Structures are given as structure tokens and as C-alpha cells.
């Protein structure tokens, strides 16, 4: 375990990966559904990869935790913006894009992308797979 986190979780890795995912959620807010879906999936793919690069082990677990953190952070941002809207500010963004079914598919796709990103980092940076070359 790299940083002494809970069950192999590296807080810095989870934070960076989740932040990248949240940026994808925020940047695509208000776009067409297909643009938003693509941006969210790509952002979580990159976030999962970055969380995997940041830790030495448990890369898929850290990528999954980064996905959870990214959606939770986006939820907090949406909540704060909804409170601002109640007091006369501009309306906040929608939490999840599209209908309930589309939102669920996008969330599951972004989870899969985050895990794939973490596994890609594991494959690229794992010392277990290094072989001697002569």
C-alpha cells in the first residue's frame, strides 16, 4: 500500500481521478446528450488511468473509488448551485444527463471506463509484468 489509506486506497490517487471525472461532468453540462455521454466516459477513462498511475497497487480499486468520488463531488456542486438558484441565482445544471435510463447507462459506462483506465495503468506500470530481456 502506497500511502497508508483504507484497504489499499490512496487518497491522492482517488482525489485526482475523481476531480478529472468531475471536470468532464461539469464541462459537458448543457451539451447534447451524446456529447455529454462521450465527454463523461472519456473523462472517467482518463481519471481512472491517472488514479492508477498515482498509486503503486490496487489500481482498479482506486479507479473505482475515483469514480465514486467524482460523482459525489459533482453531486455536491449541483446541490450548492441549486441552493444558489433558490436565492435568486442562475439555475444549476442537471445532475445526470438524459432520462433515467440514459443516465444509468452513462453512469455505468463511466464506471467501466474508470476501471479500464485503472487496469490500463496497471498493465503499463506494473512491476509484476516486467521480464528480463537479453
SS3 of 7, please?
Answer: helix
Query: Per-residue pLDDT tens for 51-88?
Result: 999 888 889 999 999 999 999 999 999 999 999 999 98
- Identify the pLDDT of residue 95: 83
Centre a 10 Å sphere on the Cβ of residue 9 and count the other Cβ atoms it contains: 20
pTM (2 decimals)? 0.85
Question: How far is the C-alpha of 19 from the C-alpha of 3, rounded, in Å?
Answer: 19
Annotated domain spans of the chain: 6-123
94 φ, ψ (degrees, to nearest 5): -75, 145
Question: How far is the C-alpha of 106 from the C-alpha of 36, rounded, in Å?
Answer: 9
- Identify the pLDDT of residue 93: 83
Question: Residue 87, class by beta-carbon neighbours within 10 Å (0-12 exposed, 13-18 middle, 19+ buried)?
Answer: exposed
How much is the mean pLDDT over the chain?
87
Q: Pick the residue with more confidence: 43 or 127?
A: 43
Amino acid at each position: 500500500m502506497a500511502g497508508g489509506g483504507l484497504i489499499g486506497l490512496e487518497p491522492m490517487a482517488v482525489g485526482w481521478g475523481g476531480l478529472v471525472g468531475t471536470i468532464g461532468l461539469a464541462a459537458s453540462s448543457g451539451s447534447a446528450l451524446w456529447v455529454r455521454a462521450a465527454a463523461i466516459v472519456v473523462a472517467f477513462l482518463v481519471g481512472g488511468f491517472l488514479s492508477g498511475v498515482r498509486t503503486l497497487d490496487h489500481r482498479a480499486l482506486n479507479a473505482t473509488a475515483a469514480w465514486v468520488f467524482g460523482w459525489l463531488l459533482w453531486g455536491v456542486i449541483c446541490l450548492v448551485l441549486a441552493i444558489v438558484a433558490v436565492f435568486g441565482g442562475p439555475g444549476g445544471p442537471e445532475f445526470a444527463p438524459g432520462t433515467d435510463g440514459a443516465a444509468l447507462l452513462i453512469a455505468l459506462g463511466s464506471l467501466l471506463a474508470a476501471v479500464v483506465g485503472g487496469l490500463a495503468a496497471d498493465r503499463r506500470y506494473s512491476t509484476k509484468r516486467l521480464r528480463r530481456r537479453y
